[in-house]
Structure 1
Amino acid sequence: MAGSVPVELLAHLRRARDVADRNYAEPLDLAGLAAAAGVSKYHFLRCFAAEYGETPMQYVTRRRIERATDLLRATNLTVTEVCGLVGYSSLGSFSQRFTELVGMSPSEYQRTQAGARIPGCFVFMLGLNSAIPEKPSEPAGAYRRTDDDTIEEGP
């Protein structure tokens, strides 16, 4: 679908997408994202969907669920805590969206993930974005459990 959006608008769409990526845990709406792009919300909606293949709110939902999978895999946070950390105020809505996108409930997903987990207090102390790597193999800035059961920053 790329190419159907005017070239001069692409940087504006990327700016709005970056806002969504940085602020996924905050309340986001179409009007706010359109304002970040500097265009009307309906024009933004059409152009974003044409360029990225999903609406802005579908994109935000997908990013939130991706981040939730990271948290459920890498921490010992509860599903309810993860729900709030990724921007959902309703556990039911979070669980429904998670199940639709991942194919299993958040609780099931968390049970299937093996390995050491970062303690939730560490996540809250350092802040969500600095404590949990977005990809399991992320080398720089990643955290790992040592032999003495402490957490240290990776190579």
Structure 2
Amino acid sequence: MSGPDATRQHLRDLALLRRVRDRIDREYAQPLNVEALARGVHMSAGHLSRRFRAAYGESPYSYLMTRRIERAMALLLRGDLSVTEVCFAVGCSSLGTFSTRFTELVGMSPSAYRRQAPRATQGMPPCVAKRVTRPVRNREAPVAGRG
């Protein structure tokens, strides 16, 4: 397919991918998986994953986990929930997977983040603090003591 038909199809695909991304942003705490997301836009899971990665630079699962970790960071700073409660509140069903992914994206464990983050952003305007503490996508955060 080429020309105007290909352009129309590409624009339709982008609109569907935006719907998937918006659903992840809204429903990150729900039990979502690539198959369910793909069914919602009438694509196969493989096709959705390929198109999503081409459009946004990461897989739908990676995007979902980043959203969950961002929300977890905010909940951990609030301080009224345990790490386990935060894990479940953001839609993760395994504390081990949550802690591993959190450490990969943030560069420290959830417990260490809770202890250290308030001091690291002290005195910064909230908009700057949010940008500085945003999880790193598509690459692991540097691990303290390595590298």
For the residues of structure 2 that align with 1:47 and 1:8, how far apart are their CA atoms?
12
For the residues of structure 1 that align with 2:25 and 2:40, how far apart are their CA atoms?
12
Q: TM-score, normalised by structure 2?
A: 0.71
Q: TM-score, normalised by structure 1?
A: 0.68
Structure-2 residue corresponding to 1:79: 83
- Partner of 2:118, secondary structure, is coil
Q: How far 1:137 sits from its partner (Å)?
A: 8.1
Q: Which has the higher contact order (CA 8 A, sep 6+)?
A: 2
For the residues of structure 2 that align with 1:26 and 1:64, how far apart are their CA atoms?
10
Q: Which runs of 4+ in 1 moved over 2 A?
A: 135-138
For the residues of structure 2 that align with 1:76 and 1:113, how far apart are their CA atoms?
15
1:57 to 2:57 alignment: no
For the residues of structure 2 that align with 1:136 and 1:38, how far apart are their CA atoms?
39
1:19 to 2:23 alignment: yes
Which letter does structure 2 place at the counterpart of 1:90? S
Structure-1 residue corresponding to 2:109: 105
1:45 to 46, 49, 52: 49
Richer in helix (by share): 2
- What is the RMSD of the two structures over their aligned residues, measured on CA atoms? 2.3
Structure-2 residue corresponding to 1:144: none
1:31 to 2:35 alignment: yes
Say if 1:12 and 1:38, in contact at 8 Å, map to a contact too: no
Residues 51-110 of structure 1: CA distance to partner in whole angstroms, max 9, x if unpaired? 000000011011111110111112321111101101112111111110000000000000
Which letter does structure 2 place at the counterpart of 1:34? A
Structure-2 residue corresponding to 1:143: none
Structure 2 unmatched runs, 5+:
1-6, 120-126, 131-147
Structure 1 unmatched runs, 5+:
116-134, 139-155
Q: How far 1:7 sits from its partner (Å)?
A: 1.7
1:8 to 2:12 alignment: yes
How high is the sequence identity, in percent, across the aligned residues?
A: 52
Say if 1:71 and 1:77, in contact at 8 Å, map to a contact too: yes
For the residues of structure 2 that align with 1:41 and 1:90, how far apart are their CA atoms?
23
